[in-house]
Chain A
Amino acid sequence: MIRSLPLLLALSALPFRLQGPSGDELLRKVDQNMFSEKKIVLSRMVIHGRRETRTVESKSWQRGTSESYTEFLAPAREKGTKMLKLTDMLWEFSPSTDRTIMISGHMLRQSLMGSDLSYEDMMEDPHLPNLYSATVASQELLRGRDCWVLDLKSKKEDIAYDHRQIWVDKERYLALRENLYAKSGRLLKTADVREVMRVQNHWLAKSLLYKDVLKEGEGTEFYVDSLKLDAQIPDYLFSKAALRR
């Protein structure tokens, strides 16, 4: 009886594995829920540093996944700083120096405004099905919500995080938690959704905590203060000339 226990346990787990949607299917649904062609976001980033906590406010105009224009509104030191992302290129305009610089190479790994987020985290393709194949690892209750736990393994070699784990709300298809891992299996970053909101037919994060777990500190909080989906965005915003406007 004792000898056959592992076999019984394995067999009992089999029906669960075969039940429900596949990981890739769930990942597609998550992507569909999160993605919208055009959006204008007014947000706040609360950065908990070693010595102080700063709040950075910004407004972003996003078109698809490859074009985004962000203007920082506060604090005074960052006010007027603008960032433009066009496909895989990123420029930053600083009003204090009146210069536009291209963020590339090792600079992409630097922290964005001292937060736990790096520039290249911003540059990543948000369509996870393009980058990862998913399997359902388990089901868990997370903050009172039933979730699928998906293991994501990179499909290609040139992807920053070799694998991820996401907790997907079964009903809303919103990722409520995300763990990002190194190739060695070491946990690098976590994102925890704390508040959600419904905009049109999409369930989206209203506030979340992003944390570089290798670093000491309380992480960086994001708050979405307003969000307009499928908004009209003028073309000129997605040009370098707009940075000096």
Chain B
Amino acid sequence: MLIPKLALRNILSAGLRTWLSVLALSFSFVAIIFLQGVYDGLNDQVERATVEAQYGGGQYWQKAYDPYDPLSLEDAHAPIPPQLQELTAGGGAAPILIRTATIYPQGRFRSILLKGIDPDQKVLSVPSTALRSLENVIPGLIGSRMAKSAGLKKGDVVTVQWRDVHGTFDARDVTIAEVFRTNVQDVDNDQIWIPLERLQAFTRMENQATIVVLKKDVLPVTDPPGWEFKDSGFLLRDLRSLVKMKSVQGSVMYLLLLFLAMLAIFDTQVLSIWRRRKEMGTLMALGMTRTQVIELFTMEGALHGVLAALVAAIYGIPLLAYAAGRGFDLPIATDNFGFAIGEKLFPAYSPALVAGTTLLVCIVTTIVSYLPTRKIADLKPADALRGRLS
């Protein structure tokens, strides 16, 4: 216990020099936890929103369907299998028919996806009930991004052209029944939602769908022939890797902060060893081995990390808690990030994140503190007492 006690006494007696290093290191603590929390919060928010609006508890894909290949949509439709019809009837699933179409807002030509959804479904957060509101027209539901880019608003009428199952052109006017706001661009950009039964009738694809979305927590049935089940892990895979990529990009910032803090610790240690040569000689003359002296100096450096964690906790906990509670208003530009972030971002700090960051910083501090002390291994007590470093 002698070494830790001595180390603590030494660094506290160093006064301002210690506290400046501790403060710098504590900034790194808070910044790392904050930035990681932002990415964790982003991940949570994006996943939750995407699951609610798009993926549900997993999706059955008609075997020809490939969301990344628009050519596949031509053939991606089939009768809904009986077991999925049963699930749909019980409210546990929502079939969606997807067709390519063209709209002509203000006389301009634009390719879109025409999606048929049951207005009474409760599987996805898409406000499909708006499609019940108009009787004598074809009601359409669009997201705010689509509304903005196509120059459409509630009540507008837009001509939509598509082909039926045999390839025959059809064109009808769709009245925008509602414009909804969503964080999930995949249910918004370049698409119009209309009632499923009407799209099935127009395209002569009665009782057919392209995908069937399961309600969250509904267990999938055995894969019906011609359909494949895609679970949340599969569906969220790309999203997770995208967030991970953003997180790696963001880590550059905190690595830089950590590097600066470590530079301060390293510098403090080098200075310590240079200025305290006589002290080292005295300690060795009093019976301390070189290893013990190295341990003492390393411990002093490592204690900077511990003190930094305590200081960071004092001002960091209220600061991070406030940020997590209030969230951040995001600029409009973040809408182009490619995933579903809302207007506000709420950082999320897990115990694992806090513990992991504390451990990481303490380990790195200890290693950085140890490096300059290796010089002590070659130190001769007599030289040290004379103030020399051999």
Contact = CB atoms under 8 A, between A and B. Distances in A.
Interface in A144-170: 154, 157-162
B170 A106 contact: no
A186 B106 contact: no
Contact of A184 (B71, B73, B163, B170): B170
A216 B169 contact: no
B118 to A, nearest CB: 23
B170 A105 contact: no
B108 interface: yes
B167 to A, nearest CB: 5
B106 A182 contact: no
Interface of B: 70-71, 73-74, 100, 102, 104, 106-109, 111, 159, 161, 163-164, 166-172
A183 B164 contact: yes
A229 interface: no
Contacts of A162: 168-170
B156 to A, nearest CB: 15
Secondary structure of the A side of the interface?
loop
Given A183-B164, A215-B107, A160 B71 contact: no
Nearest to B73: A106
A217 interface: yes
A212 B102 CA distance: 12
11 contacts: A104-B71, A105-B74, A106-B111, A109-B100, A159-B166, A160-B167, A161-B168, A182-B171, A183-B170, A186-B170, A186-B172
B70 A158 contact: no
A167 to B, nearest CB: 21
B161 A214 contact: yes
B170 A215 contact: no
A215 B100 CA distance: 18
B107 A216 contact: yes
Nearest to A105: B71
Interface string A185-198: 01010000000000
Contacts of B109: 111, 212, 214-215
Contacts of A216: 106-108
Given A106-B70, A106-B100, A183-B164, A215 B108 contact: yes
B169 A188 contact: yes
Contacts of B164: 183
A158 B167 contact: yes
B168 A214 contact: no
A158 B111 CA distance: 22
A186 B171 contact: yes
Contacts of B71: 104-107
Given A214-B104, A215-B108, A183 B70 contact: no
Interface string A170-206: 0000000000001110101000000000000000000
Contacts, number: 68
Contacts of B74: 105-106
A202 B108 CA distance: 38
Nearest to B75: A105
A184 B70 CA distance: 25
Contacts of B169: 160-162, 182-183, 188
Contacts of B168: 154, 157-162, 183
Given A106-B71, A160-B163, A182-B169, 19 more contacts: A50-B108, A104-B71, A105-B70, A106-B73, A106-B111, A109-B111, A111-B109, A158-B167, A159-B166, A160-B167, A162-B168, A184-B171, A186-B172, A188-B169, A214-B104, A214-B109, A215-B104, A215-B108, A216-B107
A158 B161 CA distance: 16
A216 B161 CA distance: 15
B166 A158 contact: yes
B161 A188 contact: yes
A188 B106 CA distance: 16
B301 to A, nearest CB: 60
Interface in A98-147: 104-107, 109, 111
Contacts of A186: 159, 170-172
Given A106-B74, A188-B161, A214 B167 contact: no
Contacts of A106: 70-71, 73-74, 100, 111
A113 to B, nearest CB: 14
B107 A184 contact: no
A39 B82 CA distance: 55
B239 to A, nearest CB: 25
Contacts of A111: 109
A128 to B, nearest CB: 16
Contacts of A188: 161, 169, 171
A217 to B, nearest CB: 7
A50 B107 CA distance: 10
A116 to B, nearest CB: 10
Contacts of A184: 170-172
Contacts of A158: 166-168
Contacts of B104: 214-215
A30 B175 CA distance: 41
Contacts of B107: 214-217
A109 B172 CA distance: 18
A188 B163 CA distance: 13
A53 to B, nearest CB: 17
A141 to B, nearest CB: 30
A153 to B, nearest CB: 12
A186 B161 CA distance: 10
B166 A157 contact: yes
A182 B170 contact: yes
Nearest to A180: B169
Interface in A79-106: 104-106
